[in-house]
Structure 1
Amino acid sequence: MTSAIDSPALPGDLAVVFDFGRVVFDWQPEALLARILPHRVGSADAAAHWVAQVFQSYQGDWGDFDSGHVDVPTLVRRIAQRTGLAESEVQAVVDEAPLSLLPLPGTVALLQRLKAAGRRLYFLSNMPLPFAEHLERSHHFMAWFDGGVFSSRAKVNKPAAAIFDHALDQFGLPAHQLLFIDDHGPNVEAARTLGWNAVQFVGHDELERELIERRLLSLQD
């Protein structure tokens, strides 16, 4: 593990680490299930119910999928047995989910500006392996990143400390030289506890202001 150094990084000297879901890529599980399972998702309450059942707050079966400990057939079988959904229904959701991860234009524009400004870019994302491979194949801006960690390859999910330690090893940088951006509060707090700079993503406008304040972007970039 790369050890952190207590002295702070200079303003503008941080590498920027992005979460993916709801930060770089849109993720709307309620809309996904309503589209794939319209016979089951006929209301907002039904959508919330089935999102909880299928994704389990990204713990349980789906958490094992995120961390690379189960493959797609095992996931489909486990969710079907647990929820009463047909395996064909679960398979349809799993097949469609990566296709619904569409880039968020505002964040992609910030990535482009950061890259043009010479900033080092990394990612740290809870992501099942088939989804990660789809993103790598499908989006040209994945080449803008200097490196990254997917939970399914690290075999551990955020907010566990082990994935942040693994990321330090992969990036070759100490925690204090990284700015981590994630939409999920517990992940942000975990990073801060481990000495990372971290901010919670609420939108690309707010993130732009944060990056300018930290001298990672200027108004001219």
Structure 2
Amino acid sequence: MIRNVIFDFGAVLFQWKPLQIVQTFTQSVDEQNILMREVLAHPDWLELDRGTMLIAEEIPKFAARTNISVQRMEDFFSHIQLSLEKIPETEALFFKLLDQNYPLYYLTNMCSAFFETLYEKHHFISFFDGGVVSGKELTMKPEPEIFHLLCERYGLVPHECLFIDDHYPNIETAKALGFNTVLFTPTQNCIDEIEEILTMFSEKKQLTR
């Protein structure tokens, strides 16, 4: 039976569209390409997510690598955070599951500063029963350690959890550890799939009583 639901943040509960982010920041195709290649797709970005580097440390590095001024790079990081808007369909699903008394958790690859900004801006995050942010733990998906950390911290049993994530390697690790999973896509079909899985397990629970 599924007792708990675990949400990813980026591209599941919040918009994460890197190309759109750079295109809405600058009209220069050259600058767009540089920001995609040397910032969002650069290994240093993963160090932010892992928490081994801080934004204040990384911005000068990104600026030096791209020949973009520190001030403009700071503006770009502010723009990224403003771009992390809620996805209405999954927010609605979140509140529906909350009303059904599912304990809800998050497991997200995100730097601490971005998470704190989202937490202050979006009150519904406080309704989660708990969660793990990679930037605070020095480990990140798809590494098994971050899944173990979530389970140990909140007393979760993998086969009693439904894990929702948009990134296939994360889903692979979760499956290998015994989690029920849904590879998320921003479609009504995916929302329906999540609800059907939970309904199916709920009905199995009723039958075994």
TM-score range, shorter chain: 0.7 to 0.9
Q: Tell me if the contact between 1:122 and 1:147 (Cα under 8 Å) persists in the aligned partners.
A: yes
SS in 2 for 1:17: strand
Give the aligned partner of residue 86 of structure 1: 69
Deviation, 1:179, is 0.8
Q: After superposition, where does 1:89-104 map in structure 2 within 5 Å? A: 89-104=72-87
Give the aligned partner of residue 19 of structure 1: 8
TM-score normalised by length of structure 1: 0.83
Query: Deviations along 1:38-92, whole A, 9 cap, x unmatched?
Result: 3x336xxx74553132112xx6111111111111221112212233332222211
Overall identity of the aligned pairs, in %: 34
Which whole-Å CA distance do the structure 2 matches of 1:108 and 1:159 have between them? 24
Give the aligned partner of residue 96 of structure 2: 113
TM-score normalised by length of structure 2: 0.88
**Structure 1 unpaired stretches of 5+:** 1-9
**Structure 2 unpaired stretches of 5+:** 203-209
The structure with more helix, counted as a fraction of residues: 2
Give the aligned partner of residue 171 of structure 1: 154
Give the aligned partner of residue 47 of structure 2: 64
Deviation, 1:163, is 0.8
SS in 2 for 1:133: helix
Deviation, 1:204, is 4.5
> Is 2:29 the counterpart of 1:41?
yes
SS in 1 for 2:191: helix
SS in 2 for 1:181: strand
CA RMSD of aligned residues (A): 2.0
> Is 2:170 the counterpart of 1:203?
no
Q: Tell me if the contact between 1:15 and 1:177 (Cα under 8 Å) persists in the aligned partners.
A: yes
Give the aligned partner of residue 52 of structure 1: 37
Query: Deviations along 1:77-120, whole A, 9 cap, x unmatched?
Result: 22122333322222111122111100011110000100001111
Give the aligned partner of residue 6 of structure 1: none
Where does structure 1 differ by over 6 angstroms across 4 or more consecutive aligned residues? none
> Is 2:195 the counterpart of 1:212?
yes
Which whole-Å CA distance do the structure 1 matches of 2:19 and 2:52 have between them? 25
